[in-house]
């Protein structure tokens, strides 16, 4: 089992992979994939029960990425876990590649569902959790959602059904990075008090630092001890985390770095390696 220090190092390495993927693709989203690194590291390397050698294993935990534009970090984590060779990192958004701009089950069966329209993934995950309970399956259903997609009505239809059905096998993780493509969430369509809204829909709600892997793991363990409600883990994150000129800038929501910008970003991320080991030793 990886130590917390090793997991933090791995999350930083996934950020480097994201930058490499985006600059080779010449298109894609930067801010979200970078700030989701710890969440996907925790999921793939500590939390989820899955098997890269047998992606269709019937008893695997399910993970849905509702905010499909953040696919690069999921791809980076899956490749790091052994689902595909590392060489695939440079095929993001290329014709014939399984790594499309949004996850496509048609192109890669190892992802649970195709996703693109924001809010849709929430409904798919709720359906999967309900189906698992009806079939008396014991696996967990996870869904990563963005804060911006909370503007979608479908999100709240799914939340209402999950609360009504008391889907305790369902765990959502929200990327609360406070940005969307047109600006800051609280300027575009204010979301607060978002935690209270989910509680009103009969969800158990936990708030954590989305860059603290140990806190994310502890929150999931707490969620698994709740038997009468689905759980929403609100992960407070910094968009563009780890790259100084991207952090907290909504303009990086939907664009990749240039080659020169990528060099700066990678230099900053690589400088973090020693700092992480010192902090967690």
pLDDT digits (tens, 9 = 90+) for 97-112: 999 999 999 999 999 9
User: What pLDDT score was predicted for residue 62?
Assistant: 98
CA distance 115 to 105: 9
User: What pLDDT score was predicted for residue 280?
Assistant: 61
Instruction: Inform me whether the pLDDT recorded for 85 exceeds 60.
Output: yes
User: What pLDDT score was predicted for residue 78?
Assistant: 98
Percentage above 70 pLDDT, the chain? 98
User: What pLDDT score was predicted for residue 138?
Assistant: 96
Instruction: Inform me whether the pLDDT recorded for 281 exceeds 60.
Output: no
Report yes or no: 215 and 208 within 8 Å, Cβ to Cβ. Answer: yes
CA distance 277 to 264: 22
CA distance 211 to 257: 22
Reported as a pLDDT band with limits 50, 70 and 90, residue 252 is very high
Residues 37, 189, 161, CA angle at the centre, nearest 5°? Answer: 75
Choose among 3, 92, 77: nearest CA to 34.
77
pTM over 0.95: yes
Residue 243 sits in which domain range? Answer: 4-280
User: Tens digit of pLDDT for each residue in 207-250?
Assistant: 999 999 999 999 999 999 999 999 999 999 999 999 999 999 99
Average pLDDT of the chain, as a whole number: 96
Domain holding 177: CATH number? 3.40.50.970
Report how many domains make up the chain.
Answer: 1
Q: Which range, of 118-122, 156-160, 163-167, averages the lowest pLDDT?
A: 118-122
Instruction: Inform me whether the pLDDT recorded for 200 exceeds 80.
Output: yes
């Amino acid at each position: 089992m990886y130590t917390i220090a090793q997991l933090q190092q791995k999350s930083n390495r996934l950020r480097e992979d994201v930058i490499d993927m985006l600059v080779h693709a010449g298109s894609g989203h930067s801010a979200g994939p970078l700030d989701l690194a710890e969440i996907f590291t925790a999921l793939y390397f500590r939390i989820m029960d899955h098997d890269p050698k047998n992606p269709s294993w019937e008893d695997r935990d399910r993970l849905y990425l509702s905010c499909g534009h953040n696919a690069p970090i999921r791809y980076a984590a899956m490749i790091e876990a052994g689902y595909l060779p590392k060489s695939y990192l440079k095929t993001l958004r290329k014709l014939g590649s399984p790594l499309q701009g949004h996850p496509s089950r048609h192109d890669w069966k190892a992802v649970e569902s195709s996703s693109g329209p924001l809010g849709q993934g929430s409904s798919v995950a709720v359906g999967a959790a309900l189906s698992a309970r009806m079939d008396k399956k014991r696996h967990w259903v996870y869904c990563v959602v963005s804060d911006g997609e909370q503007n979608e009505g479908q999100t709240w239809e799914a939340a209402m059904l999950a609360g009504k059905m008391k889907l305790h096998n369902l765990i959502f993780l929200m990327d609360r990075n406070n940005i969307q493509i047109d600006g800051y969430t609280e300027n575009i369509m204010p979301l607060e008090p978002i935690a209270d809204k989910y509680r009103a829909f009969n969800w158990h709600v936990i708030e954590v630092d989305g860059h603290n892997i140990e806190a994310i793991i502890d929150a999931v363990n707490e969620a698994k001890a709740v038997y009468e409600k689905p759980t929403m883990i609100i992960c407070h994150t910094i968009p563009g985390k780890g790259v100084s000129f991207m952090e907290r800038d909504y303009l990086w929501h939907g664009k990749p770095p240039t080659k020169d910008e990528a060099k700066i970003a990678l230099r900053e991320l690589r400088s973090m390696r020693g700092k992480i080991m010192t902090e967690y030793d």
